[in-house]
A and B are shown apart, each in its own frame.
Chain A
Amino acid sequence: MELLCIRQWISGLLPTWLSAWCIKPVGGALVRQEPEYILLALMGSPLKKIMLCSSEKEIFSVEEQVMVQHSVIINNMIEDGSYNHEESKIPLDCVDSKTLKKVIDYCTHHTHHHNDNQEDLEAWDAQFLNVDSNGLYDLLMAANYLEIRNLLDLIYGTIKNMIKGKKIDEIRRIFNIKDHGFTPEEEEQNRKEYPHFY
């Protein structure tokens, strides 16, 4: 086959999101990788996947590119070669299975749907974050650990909105702050100075 035909065939084979692979940062510069090489690499395994292991020892298989795009930690691990595709799995001892599943969910959706319009994405995000406070906390810890910037921003924004406009007693209830740590005089001083906050 002519190289050109191979290219066309390949580009027909590749799903659209994989065309992102054709441009890969190598050593700081953007280098175009020829599709045929990619196909050769792909032919090793259908879609390059990595294994993530939760704290409960449950293994999750996820496309490498999805996690690399979102998580700085995982990206660094793979780039500096400490991760061997054939054998190893990435242990994530501080993330439990349920949270890990959700995180993977988030990253996958955002990778596949990054071309969607803003409103749809925001709606999906809102639905995604419709969890209890514990779940939110777990997601935050996981995103923090994995350094998933946009998920972190999303969660921080959500928590910020939880606080915004609420009275102080409300905020204490939401965040389960039983002992505010002020002396009685300090608390009274605050109440006098800012009565509209209480």
Chain B
Amino acid sequence: MLFDMPTLVNYSGDDELYPGSSFGPMDLGRLYTIGSNVDVYYPPNKRARISAPFIFNNHEHEKDQKPSVDTLPDECLFEIFRRLPSAKERSSCACVSKKWLMLMSSICKAEIERPASSDVEMVSSDEDQDGYLTRCLEGKKATDARLAAIAVGTSGRGGLGKLSIRGSNSVRGVTNLGLFAVAHGCPSLRSLSLWNVSSVGDEGLAEIAKGCHLLEKLDLCLSSSISNKGLIAIAEGCPNLTTLNIESCSKIGNEGLQAIARCCPKLQSISIKDCPLVGDHGVSSLLSSASELSRVKLQALNITDFSLAVVGHYGKAITNLVLCGLRNISERGFWVMGVAQGLQKLVSLTITSCRGVTDASIEALGKGCSNLKQMCLRKCCFVSDSGLIAFGKAAGSLESLQLEECNRVTQSGIIGALSNIKPKLKSLTLVKCMGIKDIDVEVSMLSPCKSLRSLTIQNCPGFSSASLAMVGKLCPQIQHVDLTGLYGITDAGLLPLLENCEAGLVKVNLTGCWNLTDSIVSALAKLHGGTLELLNLDGCWKITDASLVAIADNCLLLNDLDVSKCAITDAGVSILSHATQLSLQILSLSGCSDVSNKSVPFLKKLGQTLLGLNLQHCSSIGSSTIDLLVENLWRCDILS
């Protein structure tokens, strides 16, 4: 008779080994090994009649493959996992081994056995699967195993609602298998974002479409393996889709968009960028069927005038429209878009680098979009003064006008437009408009623009002090001024604006205006100290401690001060810190080489209210000082 050795396994949950009463008459000898990491080795308990050579063979065989529960076939493991009562148990098993993890993640929600009534308290925690958890995987950590772990782990703790994957591990990256796990384990997924995950293909998306019917937002960027099939699957499986972003997906084309148009009536926002296969068919079917579509962005696509005509006719719900880099669209396209009179709800229009935007088309747009509030034209080099003035006459509701690199526009165009848009215009922004040069305009001929609150003129080298003085006289209600990069501005140019401003300046950005001196800052502080909240003097190297004195004396509400690269010294910091009414939150002394370690006590005092402190490139402040500050000002984010 053969004997058996007792095993480690006992069902009552104890840790210790015991020979147990597991063997009745069969055990003739008992051998046990002591220790927790035991691999019990025992000869097989069969073959009483076997002759010696066979036993010898068997021993060898034993060393290679011990039949253990680890060699259970997958379907048996699957059955065991199916019966685990709570998500906690399932998460635990998912951490045991990679094989268990992948098996666990392939179990659909529907296949999990409902536990018996004795496990009631665990059931209730599994029921609420609202999908409010968010997970983001990036780069090296983006692997299939991690996705499977997320799928298993989130299911018991509220369900995964939002998943974004950015990039993929180069060795063992995210593939369709990972998406299968997510599809099976996360039925409440609402938002999926795949950026630069080229190893995921149509099958992965199809599984998601099958498993996650609540999907509302899909974001695909640089997904070169996903084609129309995947998009069609999503369209058919996820009728609740509201937001779709597709960028640089070389295989997605018109059929995919047509499927979305057919199957997703709730679509509200669409953004398509740089997809060479997308053309008029796809875009027009999408625009004509989606009745709730309110945000549209079309960039770098091979669409023609026809698509814009469709936008103009069918875009009854569109509120935000962005058109960039549409090289095949001519003047007629934009003109039709305006003339069609369909864009009645359009509130914000942004057009970048479209050669079809000319004077005629922009006038048509102004007439056709009667509720337009924000207009932004970038790099539309064919727009000139007359177009802008005509547009200004037509767009009666405009509140914000932004022109960037529209180099044909000159001063007179802007003033003409302003005088026509006056009633509601709150914000004017001019960036890098090289056409703006000084002209002689009689100030008295123009009436003041009372509605303008925000004026931004950046990097327009032709905009001089004289122009600024004139603008200052015309706009008494300005609260935000941004004159970044206008190095030609002098004190004399800025002073009229400060003096005429009745409302009280709140935000003043004078980055790069290096001709300004202390006197203008003092004037600013004295005139607007009661309202000034943000002051940026980055790069104004003529500013000295005297400005800080004026600020300390006069400014009550200032919480953001930037004096980078100014001629500030320790004395100035000291003065600032002694200003009792000031509670600065953000201070930048970057590049101030005269601020040294002596400022530490002052900085500590300021640090009582500071949330952000920038000490980059302060050559006189040592790294040990910075460490000391970091330790002391634990609430403050210190950049060095």
Contact = CB atoms under 8 A, between A and B. Distances in A.
Interface of A: 56, 96-98, 130-134, 136-138, 140, 144, 152, 156-166, 168, 170-177, 179-182, 185-186, 189-190, 193-194, 197-198
Given A132-B9, A133-B68, A186-B146, A163 B37 contact: no
Closest 8 CB pairs of A and B: A181-B98, A176-B68, A132-B7, A180-B97, A133-B9, A190-B95, A175-B69, A197-B92
Contacts of B7: 132-134
B54 to A, nearest CB: 12
A194 B92 contact: yes
Contacts of A180: 96-98
> Chain A at the B interface: mostly helix, strand, loop or mixed?
helix
A134 B43 CA distance: 11
Given A131-B22, A164-B85, 19 more contacts: A98-B45, A133-B8, A133-B9, A134-B7, A136-B69, A137-B67, A140-B76, A160-B83, A161-B11, A168-B95, A172-B97, A174-B69, A177-B97, A182-B145, A185-B141, A186-B149, A190-B149, A193-B153, A197-B92
A178 to B, nearest CB: 8
B99 interface: yes
A176 B39 contact: yes
Contact of A137 (B15, B47, B69): B69
B46 A173 contact: no
A173 B253 CA distance: 53
B36 A173 contact: yes
A165 to B, nearest CB: 7
Contacts of A161: 11
Nearest to A197: B92
Interface residues of B, number: 46
B160 to A, nearest CB: 14
B84 interface: yes
Contact of B68 (A98, A175, A186): A175
Interface in B287-329: none
Nearest to B38: A173
Contacts of A137: 67-69, 72
B36 A163 contact: no
Contacts of A186: 143, 145-146, 149
A84 B153 CA distance: 53
B445 interface: no
B116 to A, nearest CB: 10
B92 A156 contact: no
Contact of B70 (A130, A157, A177, A194): A177
A156 B22 contact: no
B420 interface: no
Given A168-B96, A176-B68, A157 B22 contact: no
B69 A157 contact: no
A39 to B, nearest CB: 39
Nearest to B149: A190
Contact of A162 (B9, B73, B79, B145): B9
Nearest to B153: A193
Given A174-B9, A176-B69, A180-B98, A159 B92 contact: no
A167 to B, nearest CB: 8
B8 A158 contact: no
A159 B68 contact: no
B146 A189 contact: yes
Given A97-B46, A134-B7, A190-B149, A163 B89 contact: yes
Interface string B1-30: 000111111010101000011100000000
B93 interface: yes
Q: Which of B8, B92, B149 has the most CB of A within 10 A?
A: B92
Contacts of B6: 132
Contacts of B95: 168, 190, 194, 197-198
B86 to A, nearest CB: 9
B4 A132 contact: yes
A185 B46 CA distance: 44
B361 interface: no
Given A132-B7, A158-B11, A171 B68 contact: no
B80 interface: yes
B66 interface: yes
B91 interface: yes
Interface of B: 4-9, 11, 13, 15, 20-22, 36-37, 39, 45-47, 66-70, 72-73, 76, 79-80, 83-85, 89, 91-93, 95-99, 141, 143, 145-146, 149, 153
Contacts of A190: 95, 149
A8 B546 CA distance: 124
18 contacts: A132-B7, A133-B69, A134-B67, A134-B68, A136-B69, A137-B68, A152-B79, A161-B11, A165-B13, A171-B93, A172-B97, A173-B8, A174-B9, A176-B70, A177-B96, A180-B97, A186-B149, A197-B95
Contacts of A98: 45-46
A140 B73 CA distance: 11
A16 B124 CA distance: 45
B326 to A, nearest CB: 45
Nearest to A130: B22
A130 B15 CA distance: 17
Contacts of A175: 68-70, 96
A44 to B, nearest CB: 34
Contacts of B11: 158, 161-162
Nearest to B102: A181
Nearest to B13: A165
Contacts of B141: 185, 189
A164 B89 contact: yes
Nearest to A181: B98
Contacts of A131: 22
Nearest to A161: B11
A160 B45 CA distance: 26
Contacts of A176: 39, 66, 68-70
Given A133-B69, A173-B37, A181 B84 contact: no
Contacts of B79: 152, 156
Nearest to B93: A163
Among B5, B8, B141: residue with most chain A CB under 10 A: B8
A182 to B, nearest CB: 6
A97 B46 CA distance: 8
A75 B305 CA distance: 73
A168 B91 CA distance: 11
A104 to B, nearest CB: 17
B42 to A, nearest CB: 8
B46 A96 contact: yes
A133 B8 CA distance: 8
Given A160-B80, A160-B83, A175-B70, A130 B9 contact: no
B97 to A, nearest CB: 4
A174 B92 contact: no
A174 B8 contact: yes
